[in-house]
Amino acid sequence: MNTFHRKALLVLLPLVLPACDGRGPTQATRPTAASQSIYGENFEAAGVVTDEHGRPMAGATVTMGSWLGGLLQRPSGLTDPTGHYQISFTATPQGNGFVARAQVVAEGYEEYWRSITRSTGGTKFMEDFRLDRVIHVIAGNSIVLAVPPDIGECRGWVAELCPIVRVTVPSQGHLMVAVDPIGQSAELPPVEVCCVDGNERYGNPITLPVSSERELEVKVGLRRGLVTTLSFEVKTSFEP
């Protein structure tokens, strides 16, 4: 497998969500005072989770993955009926300013990730998150993909940002995927398709064999620092 495309981003933390009881925002149990003084500092993150139309989302799970000494912490909580959450956690800030990796999960929406950094030197973070609904396309169809500046970070790829389209392939055959920018530079973005025979495939355009009916994840690779919404046409074709 191409190791270039497996290079980690700034800090990638595996996040496993603990069970929540649905009673609204919760706070994680803190380590003992002794461990706090030796390994970490106290932090707090709060904000609002909204959908792609800006409407508050109740019941979304927000997790702050951070290091405390050499241990990975995953305090999490649910957003309340107004979309608000609040999480207190203890962490050891990293040398690059990284404090925690925010992960937001809600049914029917793409998982959202964002690195929380100590850019201002404070301990209280106001972090709002906007989730995008999962986009499905049947192979052979096309779709216009709008990418807003507040899109979350990419997971598991060298690309810093990567909007996702999920393509359903009906049977064995060959799938072609091409992603073209609309109303902007003619430069084509890199594309990752996952997973065929357990591996990612790269290119734009890209044609790949598919052995059976399945859903593939198409990621469009972009750089961090978007200031306006970008649009792309995601085109697919399929030959059984």
**At the top level of CATH, which class does the domain 3-130 belong to?**
mainly beta
Residue 93: what pLDDT?
92
For the whole prediction, is pTM greater than 0.85? no
The CATH topology of domain 136-239 is Jelly Rolls (2.60.120)
Of the candidates 83, 86, 68, 69, which has an alpha carbon nearest to the alpha carbon of residue 28? Answer: 86
Task: Map tokens 């497998």 to a residue.
Answer: 1
Domain boundary assignment for the chain: 3-130, 136-239
4: left (phi over 0), alpha (psi -120 to 50) or beta: alpha
CA–CA separation, 67 and 94 (whole Å): 8
pLDDT in tens, the chain (240 residues): 433 333 333 333 333 333 333 334 434 344 444 444 456 899 999 999 999 999 999 999 999 999 998 899 999 999 999 999 999 999 999 988 999 999 999 999 999 999 999 887 789 999 999 999 999 999 999 999 999 999 999 998 999 999 999 999 999 999 999 999 998 666 899 999 998 877 899 999 999 999 999 999 999 999 999 999 999 999 999 999
**What integer pLDDT is reported at residue 186 of this predicted model?**
62
Alpha carbons within 13 A on the beta-carbon side of 169: 28
Residue 185 CB partners (closer than 8 Å, separation 6+): none
Q: What is residue 16's predicted lDDT score, i.e. its pLDDT? A: 36
How high is the pLDDT of residue 185? 63
- β-bridge pairing 98-105 and 84-91: unpaired
Find all residues with CB under 8 Å of 121, minimum gap 6, and list them: none
Task: Specify whether the CB–CB gap between 69 and 39 falls below 8 A.
Answer: yes
